[in-house]
Amino acid sequence: MAIAALSNFTVPLASDQSASTQGMLMPKLKYRFRISFENFGSGNSTTELTKQVAEAARPSVKFADQKIEVYNSVIHYAGKPAWDPIAIKLRDDVTNAVTTLVGEQNQKQFDFFEQSSAASAGDYKFTMRIEILDGGNGSSTPTALETWECYGCYLVSTNYQDLKYSDQGPVMIDLSIQFDNAVQVGPVGAIGSPTSVQTFPGGTNALGA
């Protein structure tokens, strides 16, 4: 009965007593992830880029706070959404595969030798996919528990980091990636997935109750 006792390791709920006997749900783990790129650099294989990702952030969105001044107070409503840049940390390999791909992407955005820029943003933007995996590998095909599709990506900054005699770790490359839109592929209610529309008192066009 020792295993059954694990169902007690949770938070008791006053509203639903049955939920308190079911134990905790398995959380997603930070180190089980995969980042893949499409149309990055010269457009050739980006497999090595995916292998050398050491750290990555998930998308962060914020809505501009808009205000309407009224008689005795202020009404707030959500303005345009804006996605914050995503930070990616790469290990620089001895074959220069990662450095080459990053350099090709920067060169697509701006030709540093000729001092010439791309005619349009569509010439250099790429797609980035962020997946949280279930831990499967080798003979067991990994399952993506959560997938973020980031569209209209480009490199905002590339930091090739420093070198130190006192540091025995790998050489890293830090990327800051800005994108136009992100879609969270998952269940109903996820960002970009179908969801219900909430009806407010006074009609759906009301600013508030």
| Structural domain includes residue 18 | no
- List the domain range (segments joined by +) for residue 138: 26-185
CA-CA distances (angstroms) from residue 68 to 32, 64, 71, 82?
Answer: 45, 13, 10, 21
Q: What is the pLDDT of residues 178-188, one digit of tens each?
A: 999 999 986 55
Residue 84, domain member (yes or no): yes
Looking at residue 200, its pLDDT comes to 46
Q: Is 8 part of any domain?
A: no
Q: How far is CA 19 from CA 4, 6, 22, 24, 123, in A?
A: 15, 13, 5, 9, 52
Prediction pTM value: 0.84
- The C-alpha atoms of residue 17 and residue 179 are separated, in whole angstroms, by 44
| Spans of the chain, pLDDT less than 50 | 196-201, 209
Per-residue pLDDT tens digits for 35-77 = 999 999 987 889 999 999 999 999 999 999 999 999 999 999 9
Domain-located, residue 10: no
**Which are the contacts of 82, defined by CB distance < 8 A and separation ≥ 6?**
61, 62, 63, 64
Q: Write down the H helix ranges in the chain.
A: 47-51, 97-109
Residue 196 lies in a domain: no
Number of domains in the chain: 1
Give domain status of residue 48, yes or no: yes
- CATH number of the CATH domain containing 116: 2.30.110.20
